[in-house]
Amino acid sequence: MTLTDQEKDRIVEMAWEDRTPFDAISFQFGIKEQEVIEIMRREMKPSSFRMWRKRVQGRNTKHLQKRTFTEGRHKCSRQRSISNNKVSKR
């Protein structure tokens, strides 16, 4: 499968986020977890890749089957809708 630079950037961005599961990347781009790891290895500096791998290995939030919650995501009690966000304007 040939990916554009924009698609690779988005995959790296999604993989870097702790709460985005590999299943979401697979659903959106049609690639498996191992392929995501290979893309991360190619597109990142070696030290950044090692740091990411260490952080992601065994992380429950990166695998839907291991998650303790079924839907939704964490939302800060102080977070408001984007148009009415007062916290960021302090």
Query: Band of the pLDDT at 19, cuts 50, 70, 90?
Result: confident
pLDDT at 64: 59
Higher pLDDT, 88 or 27: 27
Is the CB of residue 29 less than 8 Å from the CB of residue 3? yes
Contacts 24+ apart (CB under 8 A), 7-13: 8/39, 8/43, 11/36, 11/39, 12/39, 12/40, 12/43, 12/44
Query: What average pLDDT does range 44-51 have in this prediction?
Result: 94
Q: How crowded is residue 53: how many other Cβ atoms within 10 Å of its Cβ?
A: 13
- Mean confidence (pLDDT) of the chain: 77
Higher pLDDT, 43 or 88: 43
